[in-house]
Amino acid sequence: MKNTETVNKTTPLDHPILESLKNRWSPRVFANTPITEEHVKKLLEAGRWAPSASNIQPWRVIWGIKGTATYDRIFNCLDEFNQSWAGNAQLLWINAFKKTMEKSKKENFHALHDLGLFMGNVVHQANSMDIAVHQMAGVQFKNAQKEFHFPDDYHVTTAVAFGYYGGNPDDLPDDLKKQELKEMRQRKIQEDFAFNGNFKN
């Protein structure tokens, strides 16, 4: 049964954007509604069609639905902080990318960028399905590399928690509950990162 409790967030826009982008945020608690393999396949299909340099598609994903051995193996690769909340996610996965080009040992400098584009598609698709996504840098990447038998030519980068919006913030540790309930979202203004001319520090 889906937990319908929601956290209200305010997104102060300077310019109008898509509602799906405006309303997206990264909770640390999720509803109890299961995510099915069919849902996972839809998310992966969205990512599959992301652009990539030379169409190499360097992204690789390990995924596991809650209640499965793969889910537990991914969970065990998270750092302690992320383990304090991510266990309520209905789906966990690990992202990696191939470090070299397809037909040579030349480094693919764009692989990490392409993985980001892949996840952008996944997040947008997930939000259209009312599924929240929380991406985590806090993954023990060397342990994950070994656990999931990635060759040396691949680099594990991030872990991701998925679940339906509507979880109960009371299920979080007190410090994270306070963050979860914070209503006003913040971002740098455009002038801090985009320049019509020379770079400005």
- The pLDDT, as a whole number, for residue 67 is 98
Residue of 168, 155, 122 whose CA lies nearest to 24: 122
184-193 long-range contacts (CB < 8 A, ≥24 apart) are 184/9, 184/10, 184/12, 185/9, 185/10, 185/11, 185/12, 185/25, 189/14, 190/14
Determine the Cα angle at 23 with ends 17 and 28, to 5°. 145
- The pLDDT, as a whole number, for residue 103 is 80
Pairing of strands 59-65, 131-136: unpaired
- The pLDDT, as a whole number, for residue 191 is 95
Helix (H, G, I), strand (E, B) or coil at 35: coil
All domains of the chain in start order, with CATH = 27-167 (3.40.109.10)
- The pLDDT, as a whole number, for residue 3 is 43
Taking the C-alpha atoms of residue 137 and residue 159, their distance in angstroms, rounded to an integer, is 7
Taking the C-alpha atoms of residue 167 and residue 191, their distance in angstroms, rounded to an integer, is 35
Taking the C-alpha atoms of residue 34 and residue 43, their distance in angstroms, rounded to an integer, is 15
Residue by residue, pLDDT tens for the chain (201 residues) are: 344 456 889 999 999 999 999 999 999 999 999 999 999 999 999 999 999 999 999 999 999 999 999 999 999 999 999 999 999 999 999 999 999 998 888 999 999 999 999 999 999 999 999 999 999 999 999 999 999 999 999 999 999 999 999 999 999 999 999 999 999 999 999 999 999 999 998
Residue 192 has phi, psi (to 5 degrees) of -85, -15
Query: Which residues, listed in sequence order, are joined to residue 60 by a DSSP beta bridge?
Result: 96
